[in-house]
Structure 1
């Protein structure tokens, strides 16, 4: 089983330290699946099947260059251990409730999840690239966040669950990024509604941290 690799701490981003620490090429050596962001908060990162996608603040999606750098991310090599089918998920909250029921009572582990399906509605966010001096993340979310509402999209959710003991290092609970099947739309999940989907996930009991 591969560990969950984390580059830096969430508190670093919250404080406005957005300088990249490792390259995209180095990140891909640690995993083929995960979430994160890029130097200067230049959009949302979706790592799927070994490809690092960048969902940008203007709504476009591109493949990240290996030379780009990363200030914060979580990746691993995806190994499916359990699969499920779900239907009629009315909103994001109901998805989280369903997932918590599945992993309970072992919520002291890390989980990664790939959920593929048809989304009747999906709302995502991203951010515009910042310039120095960097603003704290809470300010960026007010001034430079962009929100996109889509309907009738097929795509993948790339998700991570962090247990409560990670509260000083990362956000706890579930965290999802989305990318459409045509790789043209994506971002951080805010809300969704799905008709049918299947998902695969596995537990991770080891964390590799690079500051």
Structure 2
């Protein structure tokens, strides 16, 4: 049974989430503040965390950073903060996805399924090419590690999934729809804004000049391409 840690200080929302998640066979634990969330994340090892950013004792961004110091568990932010800056801060801190309030329960459940599905994927690939090297960075597909020079680059599971798809199709256009289907599932096949946010994240982490990318190329209106 998939264990979900819900970190939210609104009792009514927690109750609604708990009822809906338990009805779909999720095992739900709850925390109403950041310190409790960090304690439960360490002690209970949830399979996925649903996290509100507006907590009474600390900002949710600090919770993300605290969890990421020792765990790669998927973190799905559930927040009333709508701006791109808030989303980018959360993603930079290590969140894997971001859902704005108000939201539909079907959407949240689909995001949870996608997050747990990515987490459960095998750690190894059978591809002949396992290490991809450019002048700026190197990617070890077997170890799921990225380096820039002598520095390790930490990617979220979603960022890794996108990068992995692109680099295993070098020089080829991967359509927006294909990326959305493979990473987020059929419900999100039209949500191209997701791709823009995550590709911007990857470029900031990997490209020497993110505003003029050399490797992660946009084909306007069509998709993206990795140019080795």
Same fold (TM over 0.5): no
TM class by shorter chain equals under 0.3
TM-score if structure 2 supplies the norm length? 0.26
**RCO greater where, 1 or 2, for CA within 8 Å and sep 6 or more?**
1
Relative to its length, the structure with more helix (as a share) is 2
Which of structures 1 and 2 has the bigger CA Rg? 2
Identify the structure with the greater strand proportion: 1
What TM-score does the superposition give when structure 1 sets the normalisation length? 0.27
